[in-house]
Amino acid sequence: MLHFLLEPLNYEFIRNAIAIGLLVGILCPVVGSYLIVQRMALLGDVIAHCVLPGLSISFFFGIDILIGAFGSGILGAFLIAWIRSQTRVKVDAAMALTFSTFFALGVTLITVLENKLDLDSFLFGDILGVTAHDIQRTLVIASLILLVVKLFYKELLFYTFDKTGAQAIGLPIHTLYFGFMAAITLTIIASMQAVGVILVISLLVGPALTAYLLVKELHQMMMVGAVIGAIASISGVYLSYYRNLPSGPAIVLVSSSLFLLALLFSPSQGLLTQPEMVNRSARIFRRFKPAERSDSP
């Protein structure tokens, strides 16, 4: 068993992959918890796609991709907020149009600017190609965001639970909203290398949602989510090593499997363990039974 766990660690690329996996596995559920409780889970997906044009432009000008990707992601988020506040267009439609437009613009820019940007690794991640510099950058982003969440926890709790109430006591809700958008964008940039933009939403939402089924408070959701996220990331890397699977999808599939387990067996909300749920399932089953009989010859 010990050999099974230690053997991959002989390789530097696996050590790097585990380090970055651990960092984003902890960071994503903390930020993702805020997305879930505000019913904004898809916004993570939207921003992830919106970073592409900025990535391409910063590649072209030779500036740090963090700057371009951050600017582009934030711009997308604000465009949606602007459309929502100024028109009668509903938020889901605004999100769908914005992210597909940004994504199309990004792909076009890669061709027009003749970037040597590897679209595949952007889309699906390349955790096995992580460098020490990537780890450093992710560590800085993760520490910064976790510190901010710790410092402003009570204000963010009020804001995400009751926006009108938070505004009524004079909290700067627009600043909080901007900070929140910045945190999501930075988290996505930090996770891009590990799982890619298509799958980052799963790491943002999956572990936090699993935790949601197990605990009753937001801070517990973040902590349990971080543990689950870390387990999913590391197991994904090992699966990828031993079974020769693509690592991004392996991480996501582990995370989704853990969610399924919690959905079925959570002590308080599990479909198979919670008394109320069991009774409800039995009632639904009984309701369908006569229909089955009438169908049979």
**Residue 215 binds another protein, judged by CB under 8 A:** yes
Closest CB 158 distance from another protein, rounded Å: 5
Tell me how far, at minimum, the Cβ of 61 lies from another protein, in Å: 38
Q: What gap in Å lies between CA 204 and CA 6, rounded to an integer?
A: 28
User: Which residue's CB is nearer to another protein, number 90 or number 289?
Assistant: 90
Length of the chain in terms of residues written? 297
- Virtual CA dihedral for 186, 254, 119, 81, nearest 10 degrees? -40
Binding mask 26-55 for another protein (x = CB under 8 A): -----------x-x----------------
Residue 95 or 218: the one with the smaller Cβ distance to another protein is 218
Q: Give whichever of 188 and 209 is closer to another protein, judged by the CB atom.
A: 209
Residues 216-235 that bind another protein (CB under 8 A): 216-218, 220-221
CB of 24 to another protein, least distance (A): 22
Interface region with another protein, contact rule CB under 8 A, candidates 93-101, 178-186, 213-221, 241-249 = 213-221
For the bound state, the minimum distance from the C-beta of residue 206 to another protein, rounded and expressed in Å, comes to 16
Identify which range of 121-129, 211-219, 278-286, 287-295 contacts another protein by CB under 8 A. 211-219
The two tokens of residue 174 are: 């627009």
Q: Where do we find the tokens 């010990």?
A: 2
Side-chain half-sphere CA neighbours of 211 within 13 A: 31
> How many residues at the interface with another protein, by CB under 8 A?
25
Alpha carbon distance 77, 85 (integer Å): 13
Nearest to 68 by CA among 77, 79, 76, 57: 57
By beta-carbon proximity to another protein, the closer residue of 110 and 258 is 258
* Nearest CB to another protein, comparing residues 107 and 148: 148
Taking CB under 8 A as the criterion, which residues in 134-153 touch another protein? 151-152
Nearer to another protein, 176 or 237 (CB): 176
Minimum Å gap between C-beta 217 and another protein is 6
Phi first, then psi, for residue 261 (nearest 5°) are -60, -45
Contact string (CB under 8 A) for another protein, positions 148-187, x = contact: ---xx-xx-xx-xxx-xx-xxxxx----------------
**Three-class SS of 137-205:** HHHHHHHHHHHHHHHCHHHHHHHHHCHHHHHHCCCCHHHHHHHHHHHHHHHHHHHHHHHHHHHHHHHHH
Give least dist CB 115 to another protein, A. 42
* Cβ(258)–Cβ(207) below 8 Å: yes
Answer yes or no: are the C-beta atoms of 33 and 206 closer than 8 Å: no
Q: Following DSSP, what letter does each residue of 12-79 receive, concatenated?
A: HHHHHHHHHHHHHHHHHHHHHHHHHHTT-HHHHHHHHHHTHHHHHHHHHHT--HHHHHHHHHHHHHHH
Q: Where do contacts with another protein occur on this chain (CB under 8 A)?
A: 37, 39, 151-152, 154-155, 157-158, 160-162, 164-165, 167-171, 212, 215-218, 220-221
